[in-house]
Amino acid sequence: MAERPIWRGHLRLALVSCPVALTTAHRETANLHFHFINPATGNRVRMVTLDAQTDAELSRRDLVRGYEFEKDQYVLLDDADFEAARIDSSSTLNVEKFVTADSIDPVYFDSSYYMSPDGDSAQDVYVVLRDAIRQAKVVALSRLVISRRERAVAIMPMGKGLVVHTLFETRDIADPATLFAAVPAEKPDPDMVKLATQLIERQSAKFAPTDIDDRYEARLREVINAKIKGSGLKPAKQAPTGNVVDLMAALKRSLGQPDKPAKKPARTKRAS
């Protein structure tokens, strides 16, 4: 069954536009899900919604949204209020500019959505825009209102289609300056960098979807199945970790090169 679009509107570049639909690119159907269980009874725990003041149990379908403008003072909003706040990006992805992909740090990327043409009439314009963006080797920047928030988005070609990535605002990203403050400013030993580069080149390969499989979840499934059968499962052996005392030697061993013993200083003859 095809996924239902979470947004419908138009992709527009200057005077050219076409109807498009966005469908979420991520799903969690295969992930493990856990429930809170009362160990005394073995029963599942039920979460309830309570009025903060009266403790009365409420149904979620009867609730409305509210904005706290003062302590414990709320203004209530209904669908008409949210509709009145609509702006152009609520229904149109207007391309504002184009940038190179490497100019956007990956830390800014958030959620991904497939953008497909919405109807047969959109096909021609859609493929023209897709191929133009691909040939120019750029990313289109636009804005989109989704989940009652305007998000900056990056639009990129992907196979036969286009994919939309929502972007975090700068205020949403923690400043790493204090975390990286202790990183040495001076350049490392060029010979060590050369060996590390050789190690990288040796292990370079084409990306495959299996490279990002969740091995922890696979192992956890084994643990669960063993418990269902009433048997145990021995912990897997962990790779040794620790500080590298001699980085040069470790790099050489990684490349299969023999360690050269350090040269002893030559003895000087004493004058007779």
Successive 10-residue mean pLDDT values, the chain, 272 residues: 83 91 83 87 91 89 89 88 77 93 94 94 92 95 89 95 95 91 89 87 86 80 82 64 64 71 52 48
Q: What is the pLDDT of residue 29?
A: 64
Chain Cα centroid distance, residue 263:
49
Task: Name residue, tokens 């990006």.
Answer: 89
Chain Cα centroid distance, residue 64:
31
Please determine, looking at this structure, whether the domain spanning 7-29+84-169 carries the CATH number 2.40.290.10. yes
Q: C-alpha distances in angstroms, 10 versus 25, 89, 91, 142, 264?
A: 19, 9, 7, 12, 74
Which of left, alpha, beta for 53 (phi over 0: left; psi -120 to 50: alpha)? alpha
Which secondary-structure segment (H or E) carries 190? Answer: helix 190-202
Q: What is the pLDDT of residue 267?
A: 55
- Gap between the Cα atoms of 36 and 130, Å rounded: 46
Domain ranges of the chain: 7-29+84-169
Q: What is the pLDDT of residue 272?
A: 45
- Gap between the Cα atoms of 202 and 212, Å rounded: 20
Tokens of 94: 């207007």
Q: What is the pLDDT of residue 166?
A: 96
Which secondary-structure segment (H or E) carries 178? Answer: helix 177-180
